[in-house]
A and B are shown apart, each in its own frame.
Chain A
Amino acid sequence: MAIDNAALHQPAPMSFKSAKRKWPPELSILLVLVGISLFFELLGWAVVGQSFLLNTDRLIVMILQMSVIGIIAVGVTQVIITGGIDLSSGSVVAVAAMVSASLAQESGYARAVFPSLTGLPVFFPIIAGLLVGLVCGLVNGGLIAFTAIPPFIATLGMMVSARGFAKWYTHGQPVSMLTDQYAWIGSGVMPVVIFLVVAAIFHVALGYTRYGKFTYAIGANRQAARVSGINVGRHLIIVYSIAGMLAGLAGMVTSARAITGQAGMGMSYELDAIAAAVIGGVSLAGGVGRITGTVIGVLILGVMTSGFTFIRIDAYYQEIVKGIIIVAAVVADQYRQRNRRGG
């Protein structure tokens, strides 16, 4: 068909500059991160008499602590870009931690969850953990795509049920005596490496693949996306499954790092992950946000926690301030959007 060929070769009435922006949208959030860091640096010298930033150990511990939230936040970011929300990630962390830990117990451990399945190669618990997360996400996505219930409700249900499942799984008993191989997943800087790899993969996926293009399109206008030939239901199932799988991965990392699986793991992680995404400029209205922003958001949360502890401020105050920062981030985001519209 020569529909456009003829049309394409008309003389160009105007030339287009290439589609680029002057400032990357993450610049303002990056400045906030730098500002908060410098704030603690100054306070550090004033209150404790030492540097906050020039302490590699502290920075590593901070990033280690945030890695699990970071892994979850990468998935949650994608869900929020489609205009949805995932409240279940914290509970999925617990389920995955329990299931994968139960398949990673040392051989011959008499009180193992599955006495006949001890000493398995590390491959099995890893696959099991990812699979459990994937199934939870699949259920979330399936409910949202096929019953058209709001994502808030679907994932709220999963949040409650999955937590219940994690408790039922061993009747509340912790799963311990895990193999060294399994513990290696959470040892040293492994969590950080996993977080960065995951972030890099999905940064590329969102920015440079059809999967990413469709994710933004669905969040920007679901009706228009459907009319443009996007299978919205199928795509949402994929996005929620990815988010579930990443929560599963985070659950494995959590249990490997603690060398135990417990049903109370990952409590309220979903809120930290959502907060990191929102601080990082991901719009709850959908269609807007990038992984780089979320990574910076995760770092901002980490610096705040670490900084307040460093200058010896109570955990209670930390939470109060964290809440304020989240709200401020959304207010700033709306202000930015209004300016962009030129209103």
Chain B
Amino acid sequence: MSTADTAEVDAPRRAAPAENLLLEVSGVQKIFPGVVALDNVKFKLRPGTVHALMGENGAGKSTLMKIIAGVYTPDGGELRVKGKALKLHGPLDALNHGIAMIHQELNLMAPMTVAENIWIGREPRRLGFVDHGELRRRTQALFDKLKIELDPEAKVGTLSIANRQMVEIAKAVSFESDVLIMDEPTSALTDHEVNHLFRIIRDLRSQGKGIVYITHKMNELFEIADEVSVFRDGKYIDTKLSTEVTRDQIIHMMVGREITQMFPKDEVPIGDVVLKVENLTVDGIFRDISFEVRAGEIFGLAGLVGSGRSNVAEAIFGVVPATSGQITIKGRPVTIDSPATAMRHGMAFLTEDRKETGCFLILDVLCNMDTAVLSQRYVKGGFVQHAELERDCKAMANALRIKTPTLGETIQNLSGGNQQKALIGRWLLTKPKILILDEPTRGIDVGAKAEIHRLVTKLAGEGVAVIMISSELPEVLGMSDRVMVMHEGRMTGIVDRADADQVTIMDLASQ
């Protein structure tokens, strides 16, 4: 395998280097309203390699991949597939040229079966009708090849996120694609599922496919990738072999500055009990959850995906009210029947799924930030005090370093990390006493992650009781004063910071 050449001159090498590239992109430009998303970017993919893309949110990784997959049309530049210059007309065109993308947001039809989803539009037919037997055989053959154990007849809606991801991958492979683009495929997977995914990726690599792997997780990079390209602020920075680069070098390339401390845990005075939960139960989901959170404390909630962590948070905040149990806030027993009630008791809840339950994607940043606080302030006689509201939202956006040209920008044009910051801003404007964060840094780059960690620590220092759910153990361990671990809807233990390590937590999580 040739080394990653950053300053290459094509001419003297004859046609050879272009021949063995699966994909070559040069000089690509993409401009969104108010944002230059990509500026003169290049990228090369060799067959039989896993090529990681790294960069902070808004660095342009996802945009570049959407251009390669035909989702976006570039405003300039060249795309070569196996040496041939191409102009792609939509994702289907890209698929026909052997480029398949597995999107961050899964694009499957829940009410249909696995097999139907994979072969949609290409169903084997007999006498004009779909040949279900053949459909099943083909799917099974595909799964055998990929060593995926799934029932082709299962409805996609009944599958876990991890299994849906497997279906997406099988679908991409079924197109005989040579280029597979994976956008943060492990963000919702457990460690076990990640290992399975990596096995499949290694198989595909050995078959000579090129895999583009977008990730924010440094350890994955060293485990699976052969090469890594780094982007920053819409610009291409550099490409390195993963064997000849260190973690610190990559972080340095990504942020252009040093990140001093990943989990800035301060010792803050712990105050009185703010939230007390006793025997909280939602029938059929989780039962008998009891814990206390004090002012200034960061209370971690750990467990595998599906262990009921998020459901506990939803019950406390009244999204799906508890069927039994008692919630006490500052010594007063309360009944939380809706999020509105929870907010009146000083709670705030950053949900796990930014797209489904967080953002108003078609509305602007200001509207996304002001929704919660309007129930409490900035309204006089029904009228919104717009000047004050906008002033405070601007200040909040500045304090959180939200990157957007104006607060009037539609939020879907912002990167995931900046959307997340806007949602955090939505809740901080309400000045909560109890802040529940469900996966606050999922799909967020290192820089923004550190900023959010610092912010959470700071809020705790100001006396807020924080409950933080995270699938990333280092995050939970680094941030929390105490960690509660759940397994299949039951609480398996509460561990103090001093006693908490990855082994203890994983042990409790898989009891």
Write the residues of chain A forming the contact surface with B, with a CB cutoff of 8 angstroms.
1-4, 6-10, 12-14, 16-21, 208-211, 213-214, 216-217, 220-221, 223-231, 287-288, 340-343
B375 contacts the other chain (CB 8 A): yes
CB contact between B362 and one of A6, A20, A225, A288 (< 8 Å): that residue = A288
18 contacts between A and B (CB under 8 A): A4-B429, A7-B399, A8-B392, A12-B395, A16-B404, A19-B390, A19-B407, A20-B406, A210-B379, A210-B383, A213-B371, A216-B360, A225-B371, A228-B372, A229-B340, A229-B342, A287-B363, A343-B72
CA distance A275 to B163 in the complex (A): 43
Which one of B230-238, B262-270, B301-309, B456-464 contacts A?
B456-464
B370 contacts the other chain (CB 8 A): yes
**B345-375 interface bits toward A, Cβ cutoff 8 Å, 1 = contact, 0 = none:** 0000101000011111111111100111011
B249 contacts the other chain (CB 8 A): no
A214 near B319 (CB under 8 angstroms)?
A: no
B431 near A3 (CB under 8 angstroms)?
A: yes
**Contacts A7-B396, A10-B399; A224 near B357 (Cβ below 8 A):** yes
**Contacts A223-B356, A340-B410; A1 near B398 (Cβ below 8 A):** no
B428 contacts the other chain (CB 8 A): yes
A224 near B359 (CB under 8 angstroms)?
A: yes
B71 near A343 (CB under 8 angstroms)?
A: yes
A8 near B390 (CB under 8 angstroms)?
A: no
Chain A residues closer than 8 Å to B72, beta-carbon distance: 342-343
Interfacial residues of chain B within 407-421, with CB under 8 A of chain A in the complex: 407-408, 410, 412-413
**Contacts A13-B401, A231-B340; A287 near B360 (Cβ below 8 A):** yes
CA distance A2 to B71 in the complex (A): 45
Q: Which chain B residue has the least Cβ–Cβ distance from A7?
A: B399
CB contact between B408 and one of A21, A231, A341 (< 8 Å): that residue = A21
Q: Which chain A residue has the least Cβ–Cβ distance from B431?
A: A1
Chain B residues closer than 8 Å to A343, beta-carbon distance: 71-73
A209 near B384 (CB under 8 angstroms)?
A: yes
CB contact between B464 and one of A3, A12, A341 (< 8 Å): that residue = A3
Chain A residues closer than 8 Å to B399, beta-carbon distance: 4, 7-8, 10
B32 near A342 (CB under 8 angstroms)?
A: yes
B343 contacts the other chain (CB 8 A): yes
Chain B residues closer than 8 Å to A19, beta-carbon distance: 364-366, 390, 406-408
A227 near B379 (CB under 8 angstroms)?
A: no
CA distance A190 to B447 in the complex (A): 62
CA distance A158 to B338 in the complex (A): 29
The 3 closest A-B pairs by CB, nearest first: A19-B408, A220-B360, A7-B399
- Nearest Cβ on chain A to B426's Cβ, whole angstroms: 7
CB contact between A2 and one of B317, B364, B366, B462 (< 8 Å): that residue = B462
CA distance A230 to B386 in the complex (A): 19
A223 near B362 (CB under 8 angstroms)?
A: no
CA distance A173 to B261 in the complex (A): 82
- Nearest Cβ on chain B to A340's Cβ, whole angstroms: 7
B431 near A224 (CB under 8 angstroms)?
A: no
B360 near A217 (CB under 8 angstroms)?
A: yes
Interfacial residues of chain B within 437-485, with CB under 8 A of chain A in the complex: 455, 458-459, 462-464
Q: Which chain A residue has the least Cβ–Cβ distance from B340?
A: A229
Most buried by B among A223, A224, A343: A224
